[in-house]
């Protein structure tokens, strides 16, 4: 500890050569010195030393402590098998969850579920809504792809059509509030439906534009892929108008153009993970831009070193930030396919690669980058193939993991399921959102993480884990801190942490009032 000094409106406490900035109000130093003029200098020096120690410890704890903490776990009520799968989307404080699908028989619940999410730790969700496929088709894959924005939800059914246009021709529906407060479900018609196109395998919306991928559409090469763009009219009618269909600039068989899509304002990102001639397929991501002449593909991004391997399997777009997943990529000089993600930023009209992101200790088959999301200055990257501890592989294979990455500082935080289960594939779906209401001690910003479920086992009811952003608390020092007040601050911080921990029970539900009362006592 070297010194405490006032510089302008900041007080700087230098500890190990690193300045820690604390808000300093004008005139505060004079008031403090006048009020403490009767205290001996030796006592004042000791008190200020303790004050700086409190600041340093608080800053260190803020840097080391997890910023994303479990909020609650959503489970279906009643617990219908397969009710909750990997697809998640959030808009206006409402979390949408798609079902799981039994891949052996092509069957799953024909419904999507939505909840309102409250700000804070452990508070129960509210206003549950279940929206069913209009024809109750269990083999349609209704909800395998979801996107939501500005109060609407776009639901993809890539396996629909066996009785109409041909199996796996696909289908998309727009779910929105009707004028009477009910939920309307309207079909978004495919402009060029063909069997096995899987229209709706990927969907995206920003509330004004809907983007739908058909990764197995022939273009003309088999499974070359296509992407359709629609415009959405204002509420409450939400009239959908077809705009154009985009094809890959260089069509290739099995390239799967449109396997992943994202939209933000005048930009659309389109993943083509099967593009390329080498193995593993390196993949390409295309950027379409809207101008006075309409939507056109303006550039194509190739995988940089360390991200070669199904680059474009997942994409997320938010303003000037773009995140692309490459789940079988290998690190430079490595033969292990554990996956990576690449962060791009828009400068002028060019998308510039900023960094390749990989898990600190990746293993083969982690599938890091299988799902990605962007929100509030953070990136989320799913790794649903991650195994558990090496000494328990038999019961922890593919339990999954997800990583939260702060784009400014590049700090990474690993998130795991509240109840890890082998084969669950935690991290297969990701979505950032903002909860309803506000709270002084709990989060408003949350991250929803979906589970893939084990394809080798009968479908479970499923669950979705919610994590809340609990950023570092500001440390304000208005004067000397004596030994007694330091102890009081420590007790206060400890009791707040205990209350936060106790606000979520083991199953993610709201605790009893007695538990809350006990946790919040000093």
pLDDT of residue 484: 34
516 is a domain residue: no
Rounded Cα distance between 451 and 143, Å, is 14
Rounded Cα distance between 509 and 512, Å, is 10
Strand partners, 18: 15
Reading the block at residue 497, the tokens are: 């942490």
228 is a domain residue: yes
pLDDT of residue 392: 56
pLDDT digit string (tens) for 115-135?
Answer: 999 988 778 899 999 999 999
Spatial contact of 372 and 380, defined as CB atoms under 8 Å apart: yes
Q: Can you give the CATH number for the domain in which 314 is found?
A: 2.130.10.130
Phi, psi of 43 (to 5 degrees): -70, -40
Residue 11 pLDDT greater than 70, yes or no: no
Rounded Cα distance between 205 and 229, Å, is 10
399 band by pLDDT with thresholds 50, 70 and 90: very high
443 band by pLDDT with thresholds 50, 70 and 90: confident
Spatial contact of 152 and 178, defined as CB atoms under 8 Å apart: no
306 is a domain residue: yes
pLDDT digit string (tens) for 460-509?
Answer: 999 999 999 977 544 333 333 333 333 333 333 333 333 333 333 333 34
pLDDT of residue 447: 97
| Average pLDDT over every residue of 190-219 | 96
517 CB-near residues (< 8 Å, 6+ apart): none
65 band by pLDDT with thresholds 50, 70 and 90: low
27 is a domain residue: no
For residue 237, the enclosing domain spans 68-469
Phi, psi of 91 (to 5 degrees): -150, 135
Per-residue exposure over 84-111, b if at least 16 CB sit within 10 Å of its own CB, e if not: bbbbbbbbebbbbbbbbbbeeeeebbbb
pLDDT of residue 255: 96
pLDDT digit string (tens) for 228-254?
Answer: 999 999 988 899 999 999 999 999 999
475 is a domain residue: no
| Average pLDDT over every residue of 6-23 | 36
Q: Tell me what percent of the residues of the chain surpass a pLDDT of 90.
A: 63
pTM of the model: 0.79
pLDDT digit string (tens) for 17-57?
Answer: 333 333 333 443 334 334 444 455 544 444 433 333 333 33
170 is a domain residue: yes
pLDDT of residue 502: 35
258 is a domain residue: yes
What's the 3-state SS for 31-79? HHHHHCCCCCHHHHHHHHHHHHHHHHHHHHHHHHCCCEEEEEEECCCCC
pLDDT digit string (tens) for 312-350?
Answer: 999 999 999 999 999 999 999 888 999 999 999 999 999
pLDDT of residue 487: 33
Rounded Cα distance between 520 and 514, Å, is 10
- Greater confidence, 43 or 364? 364
Total of domains in the chain: 1
Report CA-CA distances (Å) from 396 to 24, 230, 496: 51, 43, 34
357 is a domain residue: yes
| Average pLDDT over every residue of 346-369 | 95
| Average pLDDT over every residue of 189-212 | 97
């Amino acid at each position: 500890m070297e010194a405490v000094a006032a510089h302008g409106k900041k007080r700087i406490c230098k500890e190990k050569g690193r300045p820690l900035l604390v808000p300093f109000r004008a005139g505060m130093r004079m008031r403090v010195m006048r009020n403490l003029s009767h205290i001996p200098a030796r006592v004042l020096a000791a008190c200020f030393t303790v004050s700086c120690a409190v600041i340093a410890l608080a800053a260190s704890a803020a840097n080391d402590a997890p910023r994303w903490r479990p909020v609650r776990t959503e489970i279906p009520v009643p617990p219908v098998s397969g009710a909750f799968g990997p697809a998640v989307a959030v808009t206006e404080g409402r979390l949408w969850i798609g079902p799981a699908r039994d891949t052996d028989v092509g069957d799953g619940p024909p419904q999507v579920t939505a909840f309102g999410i409250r700000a804070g730790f452990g508070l129960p969700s509210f206003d549950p809504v279940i929206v069913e496929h209009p024809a109750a088709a269990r083999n349609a894959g209704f909800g395998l792809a979801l996107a939501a924005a500005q109060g609407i939800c776009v639901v993809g059914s890539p396996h629909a059509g066996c009785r109409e246009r041909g199996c796996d021709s696909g289908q998309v529906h727009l779910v929105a509030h009707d004028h009477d407060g009910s939920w309307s479900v309207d079909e978004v018609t495919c402009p060029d439906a063909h069997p096995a196109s899987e229209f709706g395998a990927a969907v995206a919306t920003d509330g004004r534009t809907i983007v739908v991928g058909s990764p197995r559409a022939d273009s003309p090469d088999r499974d070359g892929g296509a992407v359709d763009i629609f415009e959405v009219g204002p509420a409450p009618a939400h009239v959908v108008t077809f705009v154009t269909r985009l094809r890959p600039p260089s069509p290739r068989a099995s390239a799967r153009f449109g396997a992943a899509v994202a939209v933000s304002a005048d930009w659309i990102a389109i993943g083509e993970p099967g593009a390329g001639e080498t193995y593993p397929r390196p993949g390409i991501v295309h950027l379409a831009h809207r101008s006075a002449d309409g939507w056109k593909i303006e550039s194509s991004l190739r995988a940089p070193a360390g991200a070669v391997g199904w680059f474009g399997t997942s994409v997320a777009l938010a303003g000037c930030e773009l995140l692309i997943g490459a789940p079988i990529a290998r690190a430079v000089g490595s033969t292990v396919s554990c996956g990576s993600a690449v962060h791009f930023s828009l400068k002028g009209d060019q998308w510039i690669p900023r960094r390749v992101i990989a898990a600190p200790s990746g293993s083969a088959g982690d599938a890091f980058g299988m799902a990605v999301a962007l929100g509030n200055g953070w990136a989320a990257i799913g790794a649903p193939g991650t195994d558990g501890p090496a000494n328990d592989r038999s019961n922890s294979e593919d339990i999954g993991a997800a990583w939260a990455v702060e784009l400014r500082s590049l700090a990474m935080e690993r998130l795991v399921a509240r109840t890890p289960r082998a084969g669950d594939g935690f991290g297969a779906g990701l979505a950032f959102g903002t909860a309803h209401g506000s709270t002084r001690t709990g989060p408003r910003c949350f991250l929803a993480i979906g589970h893939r479920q084990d394809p080798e086992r009968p479908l479970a009811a499923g669950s979705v884990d919610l994590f809340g952003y609990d950023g570092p608390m500001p440390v304000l020092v208005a004067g000397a801190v004596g030994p007694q007040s330091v102890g009081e601050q420590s007790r206060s911080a400890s009791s707040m942490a205990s209350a936060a921990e106790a606000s979520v029970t083991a199953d993610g539900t709201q605790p009893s009032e007695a538990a809350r009362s006990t946790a919040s006592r000093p």
